[in-house]
Structure 1
Amino acid sequence: MELSVAVRNAQADAFETTIGTAPKVQIFTGLRPANCATARSGTMLGNITAPSDWMSAASSGAKGLLGTWTDNSADAAGYAGYFSIMDSAGTTCHLQGIVSEAWATSKAYVVGQQASLNGNVYRCTTAGTSASSGGPSGTGTGITDGSAVWSYVGPTEMVLDNTNIAAGQAITITSFTYTRGNA
């Protein structure tokens, strides 16, 4: 089944309208729950209130965040693993996904840290320093990158400036796009 761009844009705009203005973006440690109805797991690191004009107008079936969103004081420390977009009261989950930071050359990574490269997210399974070029690729496990070893997690969904969160530090979302598929 193939939908027109106009229908996909309308569905993407309805996504934002349904969630409403000033939703909460909660950042957690660990792996995302099976679905939005499942209780949140892990430690909540931050609870960002998105601005009232939080998404761009739909184009080609997608909406992107406007500007950057920041929680100026993280609630706890840990490695960010997933996000949940909740209603403005922070009680109903409407969307959840993987968080990562942009992969960097010659950077020390620790077990559990997630990085994105070329549209994919990888979780560090053996601590080490990334290569001076290239980076992890593919969709398997045991992916060697310098002295770091990675496992594929999924497609890039939300990018933070840093996934190694310290209590009290700022958490900044630098990239997020909601894409409505063809069907």
Structure 2
Amino acid sequence: MPYTAEISRVNPSCFLFLIDQSGSMSDLFPEVGCSKAQGLADAVNRLLQTLATRCAKGEEVRDYFDVGVIGYGQNIGPVLQGPLAGRDLVSISEIAFNPAKLETKIRKVPDGAGGLVEQNFQLPIWLDPVHNGGTPMCEALRRAKSLLEGWVVAHPTSYPPTVIHITDGESTDGDPSIDFQKKILAG
């Protein structure tokens, strides 16, 4: 049965990113030449920017979403940096107006004559690449479950949260499928 809850400022939804920051994320993407950690950080930063842009109307960013980014590797916890550091969930307007920094990036754009030229642009950065430690996926998933249970209680009529879990490896603290089957069956 599909959900019928409409996402609005009164009934926001939630995006929770769970990102693997284990030691194996230092491995390179051969075709790109950057580490998996860098590729992941770039992707999440761009997704955060896209979410903020989609919620903007003029100069206002409407709070249609709460957003969290939980990293796991040597440590497990929120990984947003700058003014949002240490916070599990923040509104999308807080994301939009509080990047940790701006980085100059280069993209190729059409030159109007059938070719491409390089163009500089500013990319807001909320998190940097990290890669150390094991892959405590089960504990990260338990943390996500606990965090989102609280969010759902506070937003009972809202569209259910969306979890985006990005990893390159296997859990080093158990089998997450077995762990969660036990929890689901236990109620």
| TM-score between the two structures when normalised by the length of structure 1 | 0.24
Higher relative contact order (CA closer than 8 Å, sequence separation 6+):
2
Structure (1 or 2) with the larger CA radius of gyration: 2
Larger strand share, 1 or 2: 1
